[in-house]
Amino acid sequence: GYLTDVSVSARPTADIISTVEFNHSGELLATGDKGGRVVIFQQETENKSQSQWRSEYNVYSTFQSHEPEFDYLKSLEIEEKINKIRWLPQKNAAQFLLSTNDKTIKLWKISERDKRPEGYNLKEEDGRYRDAATITTLRVPVFRPMDLMVEASPRRVFANAHTYHINSISVNSDNETYLSADDLRINLWHLEITDRSFNIVDIKPANMEELTEVITAAEFHPHQCNTFVYSSSKGTIRLCDMRASALCDKHSKLFEEPEDPSNRSFFSEIISSISDVKFSHNGRYMMTRDYLSVKIWDLNMENRPVETYQVHEYLRSKLCSLYENDCIFDKFECCWNGNDSVVMTGSYNNFFRMLDRSQRRDVTLEASRESCKPRQVLKPRRVCAGGKRKKDEISVDSLDFNKKILHTAWHPQENIIAVATTNNLYIFQEKVN
């Protein structure tokens, strides 16, 4: 399962995409953007019975999830940007997802309507009331087919539980609870209850001037409903067991790799800050993304990762410039493929990287209109760190740091990936010969 050949579809987006997430079957792909909108795409497959099938993702539903708000107490705006979307496992005909901005989480129900009742006794078809005196017979209204309509309705609003900015939400495997994490706290919610949440992690110091570390990401274990992890800006991951105590300030496990003294610089801490943490589908590993690398951790080994992959090591000598232009604070996400054999993460210049764990291979691909023609195979890209630049290589100094791929997602079962650039959503599919 190593994606070498791809076909592509790209669609321009109205606003900058801030999160991308497939649902559990992969049939639906949700994107959230800076304007607070959620756009859901649905997979439509042609020629599925044949060996050469193609999927297309077409717009299924669009709705405004969050609106900008103003915090009067602090005189600050609350951005409507969607930070994360997480799907609930499907229980009935409707789909449910959680979407969150900096402060408020919402549960949305997405349902289809393809029938409508017709033949009312008291109303005309257009809704006007009939004069009761003219009704001489009774009839039973019947459902008749109509054009498919997809409706999104907010079912729950989980508000006022976070002082700081929410960076993660994660649905528990029990399908009843979920966690939300901000810079300093993690709260546990029940999906049915909106007026109450339990605080399970609190790293806020009594004296804010002693603050040196924040929570950067959190996730529930895919199978163990009592286990979750959270990562920090100092490059540590803490695994917590909710059975141990109500407040999980004491971790069960602490994952941290000792620093390499030869690489030490003033930027060491910043680049060690973890921007994303994701459990593998099988629940035995977790992956972390820091500024320059992706690390795979075995949950049974805390002192170092089992695998480390360099995403763009050529940037190590550019850290000062990247600090100056703030790029060093970019939060790249990462994701696993369906069988945990390949991981993927984004980079600059619209590059993204696929790292094959089983075959020890990696490839850099580019998501751009120039390099992606529909049904054409993507060409691997190479960056020249220094010295003589070979043909087809791009030099580090030519990289466009405004074109960053922060959000990527992998279909849970098939080799279909979604890659979000600043202005476009690309969907790549492995070409099967």
Partner 1 sequence: MFSKGTKRKFSDGDEEISDESLVGARVASSYSLQRQSLLDMSLIKLQLCHMLVEPNLCRSVLIANTVRQIQEEMTHDGSWHMVTEAFCGPGQSPSERLVATEVLCRSREQDAEPKLFSVISYEGCREEEVVADETLCSVSVSDTVSNVCLAGRIGQCWEKSELSGVERDEEALEDSRLGSGEDEEIDTEDGASTESPKTTGQVFGTFEIKNSSPAPDSALEELFSDVDTSYYDLDTMLTGMQSAPKMGPYDILDSLAPSHSSPSIVSTPKCRSDLNELDHIMEIIVGS
Sites of contact with partner 1 (CB under 8 A): 73-79, 102, 163-165, 183-184, 207-214, 216, 233, 264-267, 269-270, 273, 317-321, 323-324, 326, 329, 396-397
Q: Is 319 helix (H, G, I), strand (E, B) or coil?
A: helix
Q: Which is nearer to partner 1, 73 or 93 (CB)?
A: 73
- CB 217 to partner 1: min, Å: 10
Q: What is the dihedral of CA 157, 158, 160, 162, to 10 degrees?
A: -140
Instruction: Please say which residue, 55 or 288, places its beta carbon nearer to partner 1.
Output: 288
Q: Which is nearer to partner 1, 247 or 320 (CB)?
A: 320
How far is residue 409 from each of residues 15, 129, 334, 338, 419, measured CA to CA in Å?
Answer: 18, 50, 8, 11, 7
Least distance to partner 1 from the beta carbon of 219, Å? 17
- Shortest distance, position 389 Cβ to partner 1, whole Å: 12
Taking a C-beta distance cutoff of 8 angstroms, is the pair 16, 423 a contact?
Answer: yes
Helix locations, 43-166, DSSP H: none
* Residue 204 vs 281, nearer CB to partner 1: 204
Pairing of the two strands 382-384 and 393-395: parallel
CB of 163 to partner 1, least distance (A): 8
CB of 288 to partner 1, least distance (A): 15
Select from 377, 367, 373 the least CA-distant residue to 422: 367
> Least separation, in Å, of the C-beta of 71 and partner 1?
8
Q: How many residues does the chain have?
A: 433
Q: Determine the residue type at 410.
A: W
Minimum CB distance to partner 1, residue 208 (Å): 4
Q: What contacts 376, CB < 8 A, 6 or more positions away?
A: 7, 8
Residue number with CB closer to partner 1 (76 or 254): 76
End-to-end CA distance of the chain: 13
- CA 124, chain centre distance (Å): 47
Report d(CA 183, CA 345) in Å as an integer.
23
Residues 239 and 299: beta-carbon distance below 8 Å? yes
The answer for residues whose C-beta is within 8 angstroms of residue 74's C-beta and 6 or more apart is none
CB of 228 to partner 1, least distance (A): 19
Alpha carbon distances (Å) from 282 to 42, 238, 308: 26, 19, 19
Q: Of all helices (H) and strands (E), which one includes residue 142? A: strand 142-158
